[in-house]
Amino acid sequence: MTIARVVVDAPLAQPLEYALPEALQAAAQIGSCCVVPLGRRQVSGIVVALTHSATVDQARLRAVLRVVDEVAPLDANWLALTAFSGTYYQHCWGEVAVPALPPALRTPPGPRFLASLQRLRQREVGAGHAATDGAAQPAFALNAEQCTAVEAIDAAVGFAPHLLHGVTGSGKTEVYLEAAARRLARDPRAQVLLLVPEINLTPQFEARLRARFPHAGVAVLHSGLPAAERSAQWLAAHEGRARLVLGTRLAVFASLPQLALIVVDEEHDASFKAGDGVRYSARDLAIKRAQLARVPVVLGSATPAIETWAQAQRGRYVLLRLAARAGGGAQGQVQVRMIDTREDPPQQGLTQAVRTALQAALARGEQALVFINRRGYAPVIACEGCGWVSQCVRCSTFAAYHKGDGTLRCHHCGWQARVPRACPTCGNVDLRAVGHGTQRIEEALADVLPGARIARLDRDSTRKRHAARDALDAVHAGETDVLVGTQMIAKGHDFQRVTLVAVLNADAQLVAPDFRAPERLFATLLQVAGRAGRSGRASEVLVQTRYPTHPLLAALAAGDYVGFANQQLAERESAQLPPFVHQALLTTEARVMAHALGVLGAARDAAGDAGVVRLFDPVPMPLERLAGMHRAQLLVESRQRAALQAFLVGWLAQVARIAAEHRPRVRWQIEVDPQQI
Ligand code: ADP
Ligand code: ZN
Ligand code: ZN
């Protein structure tokens, strides 16, 4: 009897065993999608092994119901990648593999499956077909540094990780495109995977890719696509019609049988880390995937993650540098100036220095960007009389004031309510907005710059599809004088006429307790600052701060990522923080904090002597209550990754038992390599 081992989307430590009926034997291969019974349901699964021996009584095995042989099996590298992800992130293989399938394969096929597959296959991917591969030539020759980078990537044989470090505009994208072109030219079936943090904000990346490879077939994968579109794009990659796949983090699991090169642009970006479910890092998995497929991988960034920088410093990644801005033409000088808010206290959020600079830039017919990392009108409203402040009823956090529609909103859980007419505790009608958000700054700018065309870009202004793109296009077209926004303004276009960037409030993050806060802040500020200086004229970046001599700001002013990164690495080494230790975070949530902490306490006790693995005390999470649930965390770390991994396997089985036996129920989650602690 042939037995199929099948993974399904369920928390099962081992693949399930099913009998493979005679009639299905010809169709079934390792990697085939299939339909199997699970309890009283029928579910999609993937055959991961075919054997003749079962670990249980063969007579009691249930049978595979259908093999989906209309679609070619997934290859060994894909299976290995999903298996690794399950093990590494402490989930089950099937919990990674099945959700990674496109919508059309994730559920058992219906009666007209083949017809719908054919329709998906006919959808156009990119502009052309895989049969032709001629890449269009770029309009310019690569500069010396770009050539060196391309040659290095091109010469790499087998698994070879590279870090391409260069500021925005230094020509990294041209390096990716040329390296991809060479791989595609060398092997008529080769495929290239390009991961980007966000596709909607960077439509020009896709446009450049399509322009460069008009005939190669470009599949695009991100979570915003309708189900049928996502299935069509996935199939095009799986079946080789797409030679290039451009996608967000989920695309790291695309099926690419002829994978020849992986590129991760903006590799430091937090969006590569999945926020729920299996908390994988697409950047880290891209490295693993390249290793499994024995191909080169390029991580590109102006501000590499400190972990990535450490790998380059240790010589594990080849470091490639683009020191100068490409693009040709005159590059204007960019001056970064700190505005000491103790000497020049902001009025309506704006210091006198910033006001003056804005007025001057507009008088010269130039544009300005104003960055404030807070949306809404004000982060909180308060009662002058009794000290009441607006808070989310479900979270341990303030509720922000949104003036346009007169609401209080929680930026964590989405809770909203009308702004009260009077203080809910004392009845006082003098409620005051405290602090500044993008909306309030927009209002202040209108006061300071009468007649100026001011636009705002943040999550609220971009609820409609294409709104972000339209706002950026308007700046590009010169229809906007001042764009105020959150870090969304940092991405996207080359703004030709921006000569002033004002950073209003970086101090909160400057003093944040999270050890990764500095690297995030540095990355954001450098990116925001990078929006100036494209015009060929002198440009200025003004940073309002109480800490004008802070080393991070000094490094920013000098554009000195390397100095900043090395100093961060030294600090992390002396404090024994990642990458010098490896961490995992166990979190629980319950209606009552005592229960959330109780389960963690029991989990900690159950660990006993964990050897080289260190367990910290359970503590409430920084955002203690979220959407009505109390949350707690327990940090586990070790200098040895293998020891941590081995420990987690046994310990999490105990944690599962402890949580299951606890009354009332407590939900728990494990995150390996947590990014926020
Ligand atoms: P990055 O990806 O590092 O932000 P890009 O590759 O987008 O940089 O390059 C920035 C700009 O410079 C683009 O408009 C690009 O077309 C142009 N560019 C890149 N390399 C060269 C080059 N060697 N010569 C002329 N222009 C270039
Ligand atoms: Zn009051
Ligand atoms: Zn809330």
Give bridge partners of residue 671 from the DSSP assignment: 585
Per DSSP, the residues of 269-296 read -GGGB--SSS--BHHHHHHHHHHHHT-E
In this prediction, residue 201 carries a pLDDT of 67
CA of 430 to the centre of ligand 2 (A): 8
Question: Which ligand is closest to the CA of 388, given by its number?
Answer: 2
CA of 486 to the centre of ligand 3 (A): 20
Using pLDDT thresholds of 50, 70 and 90, give the confidence band for residue 137. confident
Q: Give the distance from CA 346 to its chain's centroid.
A: 34
* Residue nearest (by alpha carbon) to ligand 1 atom 20: 171
* Residue nearest (by alpha carbon) to ligand 1 atom 12: 327
CA of 462 to the centre of ligand 3 (A): 21
Taking only the tens place, the pLDDT of each residue in 505-561 is: 999 889 888 999 999 999 999 999 888 877 778 899 999 999 999 999 999 999 999
Q: Look up residue 318 and give its two tokens.
A: 């080849």
Q: Give the distance from CA 527 to its chain's centroid.
A: 16
Q: Assess whether pLDDT exceeds 60 at residue 16.
A: yes
Cα–Cα nearest to 614, from 624, 604, 623, 606: 604
Residue 255: HSE in the Cβ half-sphere, 13 Å Cα cutoff: 29
Atom of ligand 1 nearest to the CA of 168: 4
- CA-CA distance, 230 to 255, in Å (whole number)? 13
Q: Which residues make Cβ contacts (< 8 Å) with residue 167, sequence separation at least 6?
A: 302, 322, 325, 526, 530, 559
CA of 416 to the centre of ligand 3 (A): 8
DSSP 8-state code for residue 586: E
* Residue nearest (by alpha carbon) to ligand 1 atom 17: 327
Taking only the tens place, the pLDDT of each residue in 387-396 is: 999 999 999 9
Q: Which of 163, 170, 174 to mutate to test the pocket of ligand 1 (most atoms within 8 A of CB)?
A: 174
Q: Which residues make Cβ contacts (< 8 Å) with residue 582, sequence separation at least 6?
A: 637, 638, 639, 640, 641, 644, 673
CA of 170 to the centre of ligand 1 (A): 6
Q: Give the distance from CA 236 to its chain's centroid.
A: 24
CA of 402 to the centre of ligand 3 (A): 15
In this prediction, residue 491 carries a pLDDT of 74
* Residue nearest (by alpha carbon) to ligand 1 atom 15: 327
Atom of ligand 1 nearest to the CA of 170: 3
Taking only the tens place, the pLDDT of each residue in 60-98 is: 999 999 999 999 999 999 999 999 999 999 999 999 999
- CA-CA distance, 363 to 354, in Å (whole number)? 14
- CA-CA distance, 345 to 339, in Å (whole number)? 9
- CA-CA distance, 535 to 494, in Å (whole number)? 9
Residue 635: HSE in the Cβ half-sphere, 13 Å Cα cutoff: 17
* Residue nearest (by alpha carbon) to ligand 1 atom 14: 327
Cα–Cα nearest to 163, from 273, 280, 266: 266
* Residue nearest (by alpha carbon) to ligand 1 atom 27: 327
Query: Distances in Å between the alpha carbon of 551 and those of 22, 118, 336, 510, 565?
Result: 70, 59, 14, 10, 12
Question: Which ligand is closest to the CA of 426, given by its number?
Answer: 2
- CA-CA distance, 649 to 82, in Å (whole number)? 17
- Kindly state the average pLDDT of the residues 427-440: 95
CA of 630 to the centre of ligand 3 (A): 12
* Residue nearest (by alpha carbon) to ligand 1 atom 18: 327
Q: Assess whether pLDDT exceeds 60 at residue 134.
A: no
* Residue nearest (by alpha carbon) to ligand 1 atom 19: 171
Residue 488, classed as helix, strand or coil, is helix
Give bridge partners of residue 543 from the DSSP assignment: 338, 503
Q: Assess whether pLDDT exceeds 60 at residue 435.
A: yes
Using pLDDT thresholds of 50, 70 and 90, give the confidence band for residue 167. confident
* Residue nearest (by alpha carbon) to ligand 1 atom 6: 171
* Residue nearest (by alpha carbon) to ligand 1 atom 23: 142
* Residue nearest (by alpha carbon) to ligand 1 atom 13: 327
CA of 198 to the centre of ligand 1 (A): 19
Atom of ligand 1 nearest to the CA of 141: 23
Question: Which ligand is closest to the CA of 175, given by its number?
Answer: 1
Q: Assess whether pLDDT exceeds 70 at residue 478.
A: yes
Q: Which of 145, 148, 173 to mutate to test the pocket of ligand 1 (most atoms within 8 A of CB)?
A: 173
In this prediction, residue 130 carries a pLDDT of 40
CA of 305 to the centre of ligand 3 (A): 30
Q: How many CB atoms lie within 10 A of CB 574?
A: 9
Q: Which of 47-56, 282-291, 488-497 has the highest mean pLDDT?
A: 282-291
Q: Assess whether pLDDT exceeds 90 at residue 179.
A: yes
In this prediction, residue 487 carries a pLDDT of 87
Atom of ligand 1 nearest to the CA of 175: 6
Q: Which residues make Cβ contacts (< 8 Å) with residue 285, sequence separation at least 6?
A: 81, 85, 252, 253
Atom of ligand 1 nearest to the CA of 322: 3
Q: Look up residue 561 and give its two tokens.
A: 């990522």
Which residues line ligand 1 at a C-beta cut-off of 6 Å?
140, 142-143, 146, 166, 168-174, 326-328
DSSP 8-state code for residue 347: B
Question: Which ligand is closest to the CA of 385, given by its number?
Answer: 2
CA of 559 to the centre of ligand 1 (A): 19
CA of 531 to the centre of ligand 1 (A): 14
- CA-CA distance, 357 to 335, in Å (whole number)? 13
CA of 420 to the centre of ligand 2 (A): 11
Residue 417: HSE in the Cβ half-sphere, 13 Å Cα cutoff: 12
Q: How many CB atoms lie within 10 A of CB 426?
A: 12
CA of 534 to the centre of ligand 1 (A): 12
β 160-166/296-301 pair status: parallel
Q: Which residues make Cβ contacts (< 8 Å) with residue 377, sequence separation at least 6?
A: 400, 401, 402, 403, 404, 433, 437, 439, 440, 443
Cβ proximity of 589 and 631 under 8 Å: yes
If you average pLDDT over every residue of the chain, what do you get? 93
* Residue nearest (by alpha carbon) to ligand 1 atom 9: 171
Q: Look up residue 461 and give its two tokens.
A: 């202004």
Question: Which ligand is closest to the CA of 417, given by its number?
Answer: 3
